Amino acid sequence: MTKVIVFIDHKRGVIKKATAESLSVGKNIAGQIPLVAVMFGAGAKDAVFCLSKYGVDREIVFDNKHLKNPVSLNAVKPLIAIIKQEKPDIILFPHTAAVKELLAAVSANLGISPIVDCVAIENTDGKLTCHRPVYAGKVVVSLTSNQKPTIVSIRPNIFPVIERSAKTKIEEFAFQLNATDILTTIREISGDDKKRPDLMEAKIIIAGGRGVGCAENFVVLEQLADVLGAAVGASRSVVDAEWQPQCIQIGQTGKTVAPELYIACGISGAIQHLAGIYSSKTIVAINSDPDAPIFKIADYGIIGDVKEVVPALIQELKKAKQSS
Amino acid sequence: MNIFICVKVVPDSETIIKIAPDGKTIDETNIRLAINPYDEYALEAGVQLKEKVGGEVTVISVGDENVAGVIKKCLPVGADKAIHLIAPNSRMVEPLSIARLLADEIRSHPFDIIFCGKTTIDAQNGLVGELLGSLLNIPVVSAASQFSVEGDRAVVSRDVDGTKEIVDCALPCLVTAEKGLAKPRYPSLKEIMLAKKKQIDSEPVIPGEPNLCVLGLEYPPNRPPGKIIGEGAGAAPELVRLLTEEAKVL
Ligand SMILES: Cc1cc2nc3c(=O)[nH]c(=O)nc-3n(C[C@H](O)[C@H](O)[C@H](O)COP(=O)(O)OP(=O)(O)OC[C@H]3O[C@@H](n4cnc5c(N)ncnc54)[C@H](O)[C@@H]3O)c2cc1C
Ligand SMILES: Nc1ncnc2c1ncn2[C@@H]1O[C@H](COP(=O)(O)O)[C@@H](O)[C@H]1O
């Protein structure tokens, strides 16, 4: 008998892929016990259709004119009130940057030690054993919590999304949130209209390293990304050289990604870079140096110049698309 | 302004990590220690803020006795003093316990802003800063790539899951540093000499009873060994075929 609450990360009512993954994990743990989703802000009420697809039995919604960023730190009071009312055994969050401050604030206030960024979870009668990478993924630690509720977050792109059907019942939560409860305010948002998927959610990532040669040459990688509907990433050398912005750096001091396909172009495969891509399903490397360490872990390697191989790959993919 | 920087000393990013015979900790022999990289950005941001508005920078760290030498390296960079909360075997102690130790200490001082790193490269929780801010009841903004103070508010730019945000909040507050927040400097010889006079206050502390139980450590499953499928542009068709038919990722 395990009661699970999943906190929904979304943008204006559209739930993120990592949220769908969390719901799938939550439903597996909850089994026959109704799965509860908690969703804040504009669009929450219209998300029922989407939530029912992932087996949500009850959706608790809350909106308030002060709560402009509904997954931020500012939502801590209503979320704690809901937790106190619902008394769940487990609270699941997607491990996204957007909800991290809120997860921490809830944990600190309730005095609970969360287990974050899990890549595998075993459930024995509601007792969770959570596995999470540490030391840049060089080892994986398994942990259990002796606290109730247990707060857990899961790494995006690792757990499968499982569709089911449920009749989702909407419940509005009554809570008095005041202007003084707003701790951080957003002055400006941009980059919301990007045509490429976010790195953390992308199924395919095309990443470039110093071997790409210069900032301008990244255009070819972008073309490849567009053909595949992929995101573009970069090594640290590329970011430090200011060819690309910090927000697309992959590795130990960048993002940890887990796409189905990672294509490393002109990347040597330093240990700090590999730390960020180790959980990728398939890794392809294109590098002119046959001794580049990236070839040791690449499922498929091509020895060659990025400037020649990538355009050939684009041609080939376009051909394959046309003939299918 | 009273500026605190939370710094953790960690095995450096190249260190080979071996699981100890107990299966629950790592083998500490031959480990090279360094300041957590994100904490270097945090420190530099704090020092730059002090240079702009005046005040004092205090570095604070929870760690065992071995880390004192590494904490010292923060002083020539521009920290005025350091507080070392000595807790044996505390490297992988759960984040809430670390945050509580830091909160108890920082609370006893006047503070306007606290900088942490976005995450450590050993425990990788990315939580201690956020927990600490909440324990101190102050606003938290994580993963800052730019930072400034405007009047009595902190203004932070950051990237959140692919979206750029500019966020502000009242001081005092806690900010965690993304790479690139500030470029760490190399201290001059003169600064290194001067720093010898700066003080490190050490004090033993005891983390609370753990809520999490470590069952064990494991190496991740090995990836299958790499395979070269060809050379140059001519290998492209074979790659597309393998990705479609064998790996089934296209
Ligand atoms: C604390 C710390 C944290 C770090 N964090 C990160 C991190 O998060 N992410 C990260 O990426 N790195 C990180 N690094 C840096 C890392 O050690 C490497 O320096 C970096 O990954 C190298 O980037 P690169 O592979 O692009 O460049 P290089 O190592 O210079 O490799 C370039 C590669 O391109 C190949 N090449 C050259 N020309 C061509 C061509 N025309 N066609 C095809 N191939 C070509 C070369 O053979 C070479 O293998 C970190 C380092 C430290 C110390
Ligand atoms: N033992 C510690 N002593 C001081 N600061 C710490 C300690 N552990 C973590 N921190 C701070 O909290 C940040 C995030 O740590 P973590 O939650 O372990 O990823 C680090 O970058 C440091 O700024």
Give the closest-approach CA distance of B244 to chain A in angstroms: 10
In the predicted structure, residue A63 carries a pLDDT above the cut 80: yes
Interface contact B221, partner A, CB < 8 A: no
Distance from CA of A167 to the nearest CA of B (A): 30
**Are A176 and A214 in the same domain?**
no
Residues A176 and A212 grouped into a single domain: no
Residue A187 lies in a domain: no
pLDDT at A1: 86
State residue B16's pLDDT score.
94
Could you report the per-residue pLDDT of A106-132, keeping only the tens digit for each? Answer: 999 999 999 999 999 999 999 999 999
Residues A161 and A208 in one domain: no
Place of tokens 């540490």: A134
A-contacting residues in B 57-86 (Cβ below 8 Å): none
Nearest by CB to residue B13, choosing from A136, A299, A300, is A136
Same-domain status, A28 and A154: yes
pLDDT of A321 higher than 90: no
Cβ within 8 Å of A, B 101-140 = 121-127, 130-131, 133-135, 139-140
Query: Of A116, A131, A191, which is closest to B163 when you measure between CB atoms?
Result: A191
- Over residues A180-189, the mean pLDDT reads 96
Calculate how far, in angstroms, residue B39's C-alpha sits from the geometric centre of ligand 2: 8
Q: Is residue A274 in some structural domain?
A: yes
**Banded model confidence at residue A16, pLDDT cuts 50, 70, 90:** very high
CA distance B15 to chain A (A): 9
Domains of chain B, earliest start first: 2-204 (3.40.50.620)
- CA distance linking residue B115 with residue B44, whole number of Å: 10
Q: Is residue A271 part of a domain?
A: yes
Structure tokens at B146: 């730019």
A159 lies in the same domain as A49:
yes
Residues A314 and A261 in one domain: yes
Q: Is residue B144 a contact partner of residue B169, using CB atoms and an 8 Å limit?
A: no
Cβ atoms of residues B224 and A295 within 8 Å = no
Look up the CATH number of the domain holding residue A306: 3.40.50.1220
Write out chain B's pLDDT in tens, 250 residues. 999 999 999 999 999 999 999 999 999 999 999 999 999 999 999 999 999 999 999 999 999 999 999 999 999 999 999 999 999 999 999 999 999 999 999 999 999 999 999 999 999 999 999 999 999 999 999 999 999 999 999 999 999 988 999 999 999 999 999 999 999 999 999 999 999 999 899 999 999 999 999 999 999 998 999 999 999 999 999 999 999 999 999 9
Amino acid A193: pLDDT: 75
User: A248 to chain B: which residues are within 8 Å by CB?
Assistant: none
Residues A89 and A220 in one domain: no
Domains of chain A: total = 2
Q: For chain B, list the strands marked E by DSSP.
A: 2-6, 9-11, 33-35, 56-63, 81-86, 113-117, 140-150, 153-160, 163-170, 173-177, 200-204, 212-218, 228-231
Q: Is the pTM of this model over 0.80?
A: yes
Final residue before a domain boundary, out of A181, A212, A231: A181
The bound ligand whose nearest atom lies closest to the alpha carbon of B40 is 2
**CB interface of A with B, residues 293-322, below 8 Å:** 294-305, 308-309, 311-313, 315-317, 320
What was the pLDDT predicted at B161? 87
Is the CB of residue A122 less than 8 Å from the CB of residue A25?
Answer: no
How far does B124 lie from chain A, in Å, by closest CA?
Answer: 6
Q: Is A148 an interface residue toward B (CB < 8 Å)? A: no
What's the DSSP call for residue B242? I
Best residue among A250, A253, A274, A277 to mutate for probing ligand 1, ranked by most atoms within 8 Å of CB: A253
Interface confidence, given as ipTM, is 0.96
pLDDT tens-place string over residues A233-246: 999 999 999 999 99
Burial class (CB in 10 A: 0-12, 13-18, 19+), A196: middle
Mean pLDDT to the nearest integer, A158-187: 96
Q: Is residue A194 part of a domain?
A: no
Quick one: residue A191, left, alpha or beta (phi over 0 = left, psi -120 to 50 = alpha)? Answer: left
Residue A324 has pLDDT above 90, yes or no: no
| Whether the bond into B221 is cis, omega within 30 of 0 | no
Same domain, A229 and A310: yes
| Contact residues on chain B for A111, CB-CB shorter than 8 A | 96
pLDDT: which is higher, A255 or A323: A255
A21 and A129 inside one domain: yes
Residue A199 lies in a domain: no
User: Which ligand does the CA of A272 lie closest to?
Assistant: 1
Interchain proximity A113–B97, CB inside 8 Å: yes
Residue A51, in any domain of the structure: yes
Report how far ligand 2's centroid is from the alpha carbon of B102 (Å). 10
- Ligand at minimal distance from the CA of A293 is 1
CATH number for the domain including A26?
A: 3.40.50.620
Q: Which of A140, A166, A181 represents a domain boundary (last residue)?
A: A181
- Its domain, for residue A224, covers 204-323
> Is A198 contained in some domain?
no
Which of A147, A181, A215 delimits the end of a domain? A181
Say if residue A29 is in the same domain as residue A166: yes
Same domain, A128 and A29: yes
